[in-house]
Amino acid sequence: MAHKPYKDHLQHDADFKVKYRFYTAEEGGRQTMPYQGYRSDFWYSHPEHNQTNQIFMIWPEFINEHGEIILDNEISVHASGIALMWVLDPEWRTSHIDNIKVGLIGYFMEGPRRVAMCEVIEVLDLGINPTKAR
């Protein structure tokens, strides 16, 4: 079954783009690489956040070396690459607008565990996407 791009479901463009690197198992990361459709949470350091207790539903959507969304969800994604990021709770978007900037370091989270490190490389439609649930 092919991955259905989040844009089709959410009816807007991605919020921002990151360069990511999954930690190896030896670094405390995953044993295997995830597939497209992976729904990790996201965390970034900010004085208003309670360490890793306050994580956000911001999902990655992995893109290939040509800048295209990977539609095959039966092949593991690369250990490092680029991902579009989607804020799932529109009411949090207002807070993230002030905090998510190019150069920000964040993490893909599985529960309290950091499994990948990310750097924001481009802010896309974070400032114009909906801030209220439809």
pLDDT grade for 53, boundaries at 50, 70 and 90: low
Domain coordinates of the chain in residue numbers? Answer: 13-123
pLDDT > 70? residue 47: yes
Q: Determine the topology of domain 13-123 in CATH.
A: Elongation Factor Tu (Ef-tu); domain 3 (2.40.30)
Instruction: Assign 134 a pLDDT band (cuts: 50, 70, 90).
Output: low
The full DSSP string for 62-100 is EE-TTSPBP-BTTSBPPSEEEEEEEES-GGGHHHHHHH-
Tell how strand 105-110 and strand 80-87 pair up: unpaired
pLDDT at 45: 86
Q: Which of 82, 87, 70, 68 is nearest to 118 (CA)?
A: 82
Does the structure show a pLDDT above 60 at 114? yes
1-45 confidence digits (pLDDT tens): 799 999 999 999 999 999 999 999 999 999 999 999 999 999 998
pTM of the model: 0.93
